Amino acid sequence: MNTANQIVWDDTILPFQLDNADVRGRMARLDGALHEILGQHNYPAPVAGLIAEAVLLTAMIGQTIGLRWKLSLQIRGNGPVRLISTDYFAAEKDGEPAKIRAYASYDAERLADADGTPFENIGTGMFAVIIDQGTGMQPYQGITPLAGGSLAACAETYFAQSEQLPTKFAIAMGQASMPGEAAEWRGGAVMLQHMPKAGLHAKDAASGDGGLLSGSDLVDGDDADNWNRVSILLDTVEVTELIGPHVSPDTLLVRLFHEEEPRIFDSQPVKFGCTCGPEKVEQTMSIYSAKDITHMTNDAGKVTADCQFCGAHYEFEPKTLGKDEKR
């Protein structure tokens, strides 16, 4: 039987602020959305774990963008796990759920022979945050190298390097089951971020991996004391507290930060959602010539396409596709 906390808080993102420390944050709880994302494909456990981590990061970072905007993470490397891609589609209106989706591309043979950690299996590459504000607006893209031992560490480096914001994450995920039910994916996470200061300057020496900035490089004096204190408190969180469902996010905030005067705001519901459709496939195919379309046609005389995010399958008549089509 589901607990009351699970019914109320799962698949939500809770914004909050720690008034005594000048720190803001988000807490995410994902169960149905995360299970549906991972259930689209039969991912090996290391890949599924990386996707879950990326989805939780995307949910917390994405909650900050404007209505109808889109935030994406692109993680690319030269290892067995070649690509992890996530999208967060902000709500159309206040109170409506945001949508999230994700998928990964990997080399099964190389992964089977690999002996590194899941993060090491991505190899050398880049961690990119892309924000699309809609038609007529130039997308923003920020990139940082893969470093630090986890995707969360990469995100912390991104905020330090690109946004000059000290940021810290605590993330946990796994498969859990209620009595008599099949195991399903659950995940929970907390994001802390020091409030921006006018005229903020990084210290001369960067303390992160490979000479990259870290959050502690961006604060000093009282700000450094506040940041170090809440960071240490976040380090005490337990996996079962993050994932839930028996500890609600608001209760966890009080457990961790009661002396920092936590203040919560309206939570954001989130669900799995994909924006694929036949019209978008046709639009994608419009760049190809009739000759190209012929090469894509299968033995049954159809052009097929599969959505990497949700697994939807589409079939088209070749004559309806391509830039030479007469409409």
Is residue 325, in this structure, part of any structural domain at all? no
Domain containing residue 290: 278-320
- Which of 257, 272, 287 terminates a domain? The answer is 272
pLDDT digits (tens, 9 = 90+) for 180-226: 777 789 999 999 999 876 444 555 557 667 777 777 778 888 999 99
Same domain, 133 and 90: yes
Query: Structure pTM?
Result: 0.88
pLDDT of residue 7: 54
Q: State mean pLDDT over 271-284.
A: 88
Tally of domains in the chain: 2
Alpha carbon distance 10, 33 (integer Å):
9
CATH of the domain at 228: 3.55.30.10
Q: What is the pLDDT of residue 143?
A: 95
Whether residue 153 is contained in a domain is answered as yes
**Same domain membership, residue 32 and residue 138:** yes
Q: Is the same domain home to 151 and 249? A: yes
How far is the C-alpha of 47 from the C-alpha of 289, rounded, in Å?
A: 36
Q: Identify whether residues 177 and 306 lie together within a single domain.
A: no
Does residue 237 sit in the same domain as residue 303?
no
Residue 183 forms part of a structural domain: yes
User: Is the Cβ–Cβ distance between 21 and 262 less than 8 Å?
Assistant: no
How far apart (Å, rounded) are the C-alpha atoms in residues 177 and 155?
Answer: 30
Residues 79, 56, single domain; the answer is: yes
pLDDT digits (tens, 9 = 90+) for 35-69: 999 988 899 999 999 999 999 999 999 999 988 89
